[in-house]
Structure 1
């Protein structure tokens, strides 16, 4: 039976003034009597007071639900009342009551009053629902609010699951889509459960979007949390409250973000059909640029990783003695692998530029940025349009991506006053033609300057030897442990990736070694020094062996969050040792991911493994010395 079928409009009173619990009960009984549900007021009141004598029906949160099952009730019913200034009802939490429901159940009505009580109690745990009832202006509005909320609840129960309705939704995405994406989703989901607000999180990971939000879920929600360091598809959220934050905040502050949605402290998002327009001004310029860069990097990585590993395999399977000058393509298998790898690897710069531009200007920016990246890769100059004179490289493609994105935004503004009938030709004619032409001219103009910077940097790195080379390895590897996947970590990683395009493979090896150390050092410490860690931490440490070997630094985040002053410096020390030794041993890496699983493709693999082991041991020992043994009961 529906709650609204039990509640007669004559039994609803709003903004009532009462001074005591007894007066509250008397008023509710009068309302119940007005609907004709009881035959004897005196007997019904006696049943209500008898129930109150067992324990108060003031259940807390400003709610009271007095009820009785007596012979004086001829038909099951409800009465409801809102109290303007609240009343002392001797509630369980000691707080005033502002909202009352009284239940009347006949003695032969089975457990209907218990069913109604259970349903009411569940619905009333929703703070916004309670507030809507208290703010209702008329009995009819009061009934409509209940009817809508009950319909949502019944739909959930009918389908046997809660995911038909979520008050809060989330989308999580990090540049690599490996760890932060799923950690943020997990923390937001758990926080929602703890707070009593069902939450569904869509993950935009390396394998694509999972647990995708449906339009019906979006329409029914109170708002959406976008915890991402790269852009996600936003047009579906038009007209809904959207809170945009970094993926790190999704991990570290899930309850705070959820509460903002619940408290309606989030601006409405509007999508104009072409680009994302966010009303939230909380995102700074720095984070915006970082997000656009990471969007390009995340789309570039599969090309670099796939192409880099295929090229490395070509050298692994080739015969150097056949023709040293053609090493990598001496045998048919090696030649095939290297050719395919080079084609995939060669797309990294256009892909980087294209997706930076797309992040800035949405789809119209993709082609413009992509062509800008090709012009940078070719090294075109006005003196030699065919290219080859300069090496603009990674930096040139990066600048071309930003130029292309902001250029398209400018074109959108310039042509925004054209008649609506011409809207269809802008993204397929005006933006690509003018955008590609202008970005090509601009990129061609800056190529010589960027090329000079790139050449100078490459010469400096290539001339490094001995101490300076080891020092560089110490710095870039140590940066990997500074914020475990955050901006400093990513800056080191992007620098190493950029050097792959220039043929400097040793820096990437040092960076990956440094990134593997944090989870490995923690895992080793939880194994060798159990008295420093709780049982849960020891169990999590086992998982960190796998995460570390797979080059997933984020496995250390939960430990670093609990004890940053000990964990982070220890991991930096271990990473620095691993990176310095990798450089010292001359280890090289063509693929920017994979961890221990690409060890056969690494230059000087045995010494590389030794560098990682040394860094893991140093990190473990420093951490274990800094941490104090726990009390026996906590171990």
Structure 2
């Protein structure tokens, strides 16, 4: 699996007989794993599913659709597959390749936590003529089976659409935010109002009086500021893409830009993306004459969907959403004392409840949405929220590292202690997924312990008024943190509390079933494999 993963796909194969033991053809499965960030969960689920398939006597080839280059599954492999597994929180890219195949779909976290169950369900679906199938134009086999296409609830679809938008938005935020922080480091906070002027009035051959570092800081800040300017448009564009495929991208981006113009911000981007996506989907749904089909995706759909979604924002929805955004901003700016602490506790709990999953992404997206509008002097609340969110997100992996390598080594397996060593760096870098191998092995003790520590960190950070100009990076963006000492204290306090709570739970709260212990050992072992091959651990 390690060699295959280097090429962007992973597979399971064995010389053993199939599950029936009669030497007949082994069941063949294919699948896709994908999480909003395309980093840790994507590859952990792939490895866990591959290992489960091998245990159950099936061949499984997985296409991890991560944030880097994706190597698609061979069409011949897909054609031979008996069923498909989608362990995804976002839309599957080029899902039409799997049309007509029996499908089992679940969140990517289920692929990490319950891979055996997903593989068993896929094997059962392969033998069931009435099993749900991947929507689209089915191939011969799918058509012959006469099965109904896969149907998903509106709630599940909505979550997938929104997380798809967030997954494409995050690179703009991470890259742009770090460039902003670098600009502040090189040129000071006053560069926020001077960067554009510096770049238009000076050049490398005509440096400003402040010198080269100041000029480079202005360049970094301006590039980062422009990158952050795509945040809402990218969010809206890829929400619409998740709903209507490529025809939704242009109207979605336009709706996002209009939301920014109207002052509707992040909320306006969400609404605009949904409107554009629905409009593009319904406009493209009717069957049109052959001569018109070529114009539909490149002219007709983008034009009409843009008029509908952006027109609604300009004429009807933009003003009220902008007023709501202003009211929310004023409310956050007015928080102090107990109110700020409560918000910090809530954000800390959300960051730690699913370790990089949907709830975590909601809190993180809420923080980065206001980052570009934050100001140390005039509007510090968004920067305080960003600091609390980043600090709380660092706690789970750091706490797992402290508990497994320092406080209670004998309470963890050798595999977990190895993961704990790697978790020091992952936690310091604000990669919450570093705690997933521990949570997969022992969720009922790890998750509550993490949430307690995250709440402590969020509360202390908000109470102390800590600010962050950077959306990511952990301790490596220390220069972008206001009141660095209190931020470090908040993280240390949350880490220590989490670690001690986990140790106490391990000592005094026992798991009842031996099967649970076996599953824990398997999950921890799978986590170790991922730690060796996922881009995060690398």
> How far does residue 587 in structure 1 lie from its aligned partner after superposition?
2.1
Q: State yes or no: 1:293 paired with 2:293.
A: no
Q: How far, CA to CA, are the matches of 2:429 and 2:48 in structure 1?
A: 22
Give the aligned partner of residue 314 of structure 1: 183
Q: State yes or no: 1:449 paired with 2:328.
A: no
Q: Deviations over 1:265-323 (max 9, x none)?
A: 443324259xxx99223x332221111111011101111111111111111101568x8
Q: How far, CA to CA, are the matches of 1:426 and 1:566 in structure 2?
A: 53
Question: Structure 1 residues 208 and 588 mapped into 2: Cα distance closer, same or farther (>3 Å)?
Answer: farther
Q: How far, CA to CA, are the matches of 2:256 and 2:442 in structure 1?
A: 43
Q: How far, CA to CA, are the matches of 2:169 and 2:57 in structure 1?
A: 40
Q: Is the 8 A contact 1:300 1:352 kept in 2?
A: yes
Q: How far, CA to CA, are the matches of 1:498 and 1:318 in structure 2?
A: 24
Larger displacement relative to structure 2 (525-534 or 396-405): 525-534
Q: Deviations over 1:435-479 (max 9, x none)?
A: 111111111120110011100000010111223212211210121
Q: State yes or no: 1:423 paired with 2:316.
A: no
Give the aligned partner of residue 343 of structure 2: 472
Q: State yes or no: 1:592 paired with 2:475.
A: no
Tell me, what secondary structure is at the counterpart of 2:78?
A: helix
> How far does residue 550 in structure 1 lie from its aligned partner after superposition?
2.3
Larger displacement relative to structure 2 (361-370 or 430-439): 430-439
Tell me, what secondary structure is at the counterpart of 2:90?
A: coil
Give the aligned partner of residue 514 of structure 1: 392
Which runs of 5 or more residues in structure 2 are unaligned? Answer: 1-13, 139-146, 199-209, 375-381, 511-516, 522-538
Q: How far, CA to CA, are the matches of 2:490 and 2:323 in structure 1?
A: 34
Larger displacement relative to structure 2 (353-362 or 608-617): 608-617
Question: Structure 1 residues 310 and 261 mapped into 2: Cα distance closer, same or farther (>3 Å)?
Answer: same
Q: How far, CA to CA, are the matches of 1:557 and 1:287 in structure 2?
A: 23
Q: State yes or no: 1:409 paired with 2:281.
A: yes
Question: Structure 1 residues 327 and 427 mapped into 2: Cα distance closer, same or farther (>3 Å)?
Answer: closer
Q: Deviations over 1:569-615 (max 9, x none)?
A: 22111111111222233222233322223223223333322221111
Q: How far, CA to CA, are the matches of 1:239 and 1:325 in structure 2?
A: 56
Aligned counterpart for 1:214 among listed residues 51, 74, 83 = 74
Tell me, what secondary structure is at the counterpart of 1:256?
A: helix
Q: Is the 8 A contact 2:419 2:437 kept in 1?
A: no
Q: How far, CA to CA, are the matches of 1:452 and 1:350 in structure 2?
A: 19
Tell me, what secondary structure is at the counterpart of 2:61?
A: strand
Give the aligned partner of residue 574 of structure 1: 453
Aligned counterpart for 1:236 among listed residues 75, 97, 101 = 97
> How far does residue 555 in structure 1 lie from its aligned partner after superposition?
2.7
Q: Is the 8 A contact 1:407 1:435 kept in 2?
A: yes
Matches within 5 A, 1:329-344: 331-344=214-227
Give the aligned partner of residue 397 of structure 1: 269
Q: How far, CA to CA, are the matches of 1:459 and 1:374 in structure 2?
A: 23
Tell me, what secondary structure is at the counterpart of 2:70?
A: strand
Give the aligned partner of residue 526 of structure 2: none
Give the aligned partner of residue 382 of structure 1: none
Q: Is the 8 A contact 1:177 1:204 kept in 2?
A: yes
**Larger RCO (CA within 8 A; separation ≥ 6):** 2
Q: Is the 8 A contact 2:33 2:62 kept in 1?
A: yes
TM-score (norm 1): 0.68
Q: Is the 8 A contact 1:309 1:341 kept in 2?
A: yes
Give the aligned partner of residue 68 of structure 1: none
Q: Deviations over 1:157-178 (max 9, x none)?
A: xxxxxxxxx8111110000112
Q: How far, CA to CA, are the matches of 1:311 and 1:552 in structure 2?
A: 20
Q: State yes or no: 1:433 paired with 2:326.
A: no
Q: State yes or no: 1:223 paired with 2:101.
A: no
Q: How far, CA to CA, are the matches of 1:278 and 1:470 in structure 2?
A: 51
Q: Is the 8 A contact 2:17 2:57 kept in 1?
A: no
TM-score (norm 2): 0.80
Q: How far, CA to CA, are the matches of 1:451 and 1:337 in structure 2?
A: 30
> How far does residue 506 in structure 1 lie from its aligned partner after superposition?
1.4
Matches within 5 A, 1:541-580: 541-580=420-459
Q: Is the 8 A contact 2:100 2:135 kept in 1?
A: yes
Give the aligned partner of residue 122 of structure 2: 261
> How far does residue 427 in structure 1 lie from its aligned partner after superposition?
0.8
Give the aligned partner of residue 86 of structure 1: none
- Could you say what the CA RMSD is over the residues aligned between the two structures, in angstroms? 2.8
Q: More strand by proportion, 1 or 2?
A: 1
> How far does residue 533 in structure 1 lie from its aligned partner after superposition?
2.4
Q: Is the 8 A contact 1:306 1:591 kept in 2?
A: no
Q: Is the 8 A contact 2:347 2:388 kept in 1?
A: yes
Q: How far, CA to CA, are the matches of 1:592 and 1:475 in structure 2?
A: 18
Give the aligned partner of residue 200 of structure 1: 61
Q: Deviations over 1:387-444 (max 9, x none)?
A: xxxx20000011000000011122123xx13223321111112101111111111111
> How far does residue 333 in structure 1 lie from its aligned partner after superposition?
1.2
> How far does residue 554 in structure 1 lie from its aligned partner after superposition?
2.5
Which runs of 5 or more residues in structure 1 are unaligned? Answer: 1-120, 131-145, 154-165, 380-390
Q: How far, CA to CA, are the matches of 1:359 and 1:472 in structure 2?
A: 31
